[in-house]
Amino acid sequence: MEYNGINFDTYFKNYPDENGFFGKYGGAYITEDLKKAMEEITEAYFTICKSSKFISELRRIRRDFQGRPTPISHLERLSESLGNVQLYVKREDLNHTGAHKLNHCMGEALLAKYMGKKKVIAETGAGQHGVALATAAAYFGLECDIYMGTVDIAKQAPNVARMKILGANVVEVKEGLQTLKEAVDAAFAAYARDYKDSIYCIGSVLGPHPFPMMVRDFQSVVGIEAREQFMDMTGELPDAVVACVGGGSNAMGMFSGFLNDPVDIYGVEPLGRGEKLGDHAASLKYGTEGIMHGFNSIMLKDENGEPAPVYSVASGLDYPSSGPEHAFLHDLGRVKYDVVSDDETIDAFFTLSRLEGIIPAIESSHAVAYAMKLAKEMGKGSILINLSGRGDKDMDYIIEKYGIR
């Protein structure tokens, strides 16, 4: 299928290019030391990902350890309450650890094993990526250093405990505002010192090449499964596909299965409390081109051109940029990026729980909220939503802030 001059039949072969660019976005804006390390990973990935041993081991892990394929569920009662459009969810909440992040962490850790590395390194904000990577490290018997700001350690005690139970070393970062940005810097610095024995594992389709490509490829299992399951269940393609976008990994995984189909694709960003800078984290909707954390994309900037403070009710979505491939698909118009507010999201959280018996993560509730609005607009047809994770991790926050509705 061709769209605005791009041939999607050969899309995955051409994007990213050999330097990691999706159009003008992506690349690797890093020090020479780190560049060497990234080149080593890129080369290893291109060799290993084609080996039948790697592919069959990853397949076996997905089936026997993660519980894949995750199903698709038809949301009959929610659909009926909205009109004639039929809504379906891809159940990444049923993936081991309760979200999609393990899909790329298992891939990255298996790559580390094949490369003979002893340790995996990462940063974490809310702790979800740290827990997923600590899980993968435990499975493969790798050491695991997770960098986390002091403020986040205090806020995310249960995830810190999970990482420690899984055998990870949680490294406290006391610099600056003591949150995600400082944790990224500290983790990258540690990796630059130790790249011979370790590998950095990025938590989304972000960072320097080859990570946006690698994480997309590992997550594409979601879209490939979903497309086949949806065809089996309904005999046709969905009219629309919807996913929430933080860094953009669950969305890229789902979208990659449908880019070459006549399907409308929607990425949903958090509008938070409103349109004012600092009140949301909708980088693709309100941001401009810029470089941070080693890649060129669309980002939210403060008056000095630095990454702006962001906010969302969903801690997994509060990042001031999104993956370079999303910036590319945004400019191309192949994917439409739109926003929902905190209030719409929390309504969707309670509605899906009450009508369908599925308590979604607050991140995923953004996609559900958007699909509920879209269903009313469309009037007929079908929508497939990526339910990126389950809401158990959000219970304490929901009860404290919103009570039980």
Ligand X SMILES: *Cc1c(COP(=O)(O)O)cnc(C)c1O
Which CB atom, from 131 or from 374, has the smaller least distance to ligand X? 131
Q: Does 128 bind ligand X (CB under 6 A)?
A: yes
Residue nearest to ligand X (CB): 389
Q: Which of 361, 371, 372, 383 binds ligand X (CB under 6 A)?
A: 361
Least distance between ligand X and beta carbon 205 (Å): 6
Query: Looking at this protein, which amino acid is placed at residue 290?
Result: G
Catalytic residue numbers, as ranges = 101, 123, 388
Q: Does 238 bind ligand X (CB under 6 A)?
A: no
Least distance between ligand X and beta carbon 284 (Å): 11
How many residues sit close enough to ligand X to count as binding (CB under 6 A)? 19
Choices 147-155, 248-256, 266-274, 340-348 (CB under 6 A): range interacting with ligand X:
248-256
Q: Does 248 bind ligand X (CB under 6 A)?
A: yes
Q: Which of helix, strand or coil describes residue 54?
A: helix
**If DSSP states are collapsed to H, E and C, what string results for 235-277?**
CCCCCEEEEECCCCHHHHHHHHCCCCCCCEEEEEEEEECCCCC
Least distance between ligand X and beta carbon 261 (Å): 21
Choices 135-143, 242-250, 286-294, 331-339 (CB under 6 A): range interacting with ligand X:
242-250
How many Å apart are CA 221 and CA 339, to the nearest integer? 26
Which CB atom, from 42 or from 97, has the smaller least distance to ligand X? 97
How many Å apart are CA 264 and CA 383, to the nearest integer? 9
Which CB atom, from 296 or from 315, has the smaller least distance to ligand X? 315
To the nearest 10°, the Cα dihedral for 130, 16, 117, 254? Answer: 40
How many Å apart are CA 405 and CA 14, to the nearest integer? 48
What is the 8-class DSSP label of residue 290? E
User: Tokens 């009219």 identify what position?
Assistant: 239
Q: Does 316 bind ligand X (CB under 6 A)?
A: yes
Choices 5-13, 231-239, 345-353, 357-365 (CB under 6 A): range interacting with ligand X:
357-365
Least distance between ligand X and beta carbon 317 (Å): 6
Least distance between ligand X and beta carbon 10 (Å): 26
How many Å apart are CA 2 and CA 5, to the nearest integer? 6
Query: Token pair of 103, please?
Result: 């899909």
Do the beta carbons of residue 199 and residue 193 sit within 8 Å? Answer: no
Binders of ligand X in range 87-106 (CB under 6 A): 99, 101
Over the window 173 to 212, marking each residue x when it contacts ligand X by CB under 6 A and - when it does not, the resulting string is: -------------------------------x--------
Q: Does 135 bind ligand X (CB under 6 A)?
A: no
Handedness of CA 41, 16, 182, 363 (dihedral sign): negative
How many Å apart are CA 89 and CA 16, to the nearest integer? 29
Q: Does 107 bind ligand X (CB under 6 A)?
A: no
Handedness of CA 105, 285, 340, 374 (dihedral sign): negative
Q: Which of 107, 149, 208, 389 binds ligand X (CB under 6 A)?
A: 389
Which CB atom, from 75 or from 317, has the smaller least distance to ligand X? 317
Distance of CA 219 to the CA centre of its chain: 8
Q: Does 245 bind ligand X (CB under 6 A)?
A: yes
Least distance between ligand X and beta carbon 196 (Å): 28
332 contacts: CB under 8 Å, gap ≥ 6: 3, 4, 6, 23
Which CB atom, from 101 or from 293, has the smaller least distance to ligand X? 101
Q: Sheet holding 198-200: strands in order across?
A: 169-173, 143-149, 119-123, 198-200
Least distance between ligand X and beta carbon 250 (Å): 3
What is the 8-class DSSP label of residue 92? G
Contact positions vs ligand X (CB under 6 A): 99, 101, 128, 204, 244-251, 316-317, 361, 363-364, 388-389
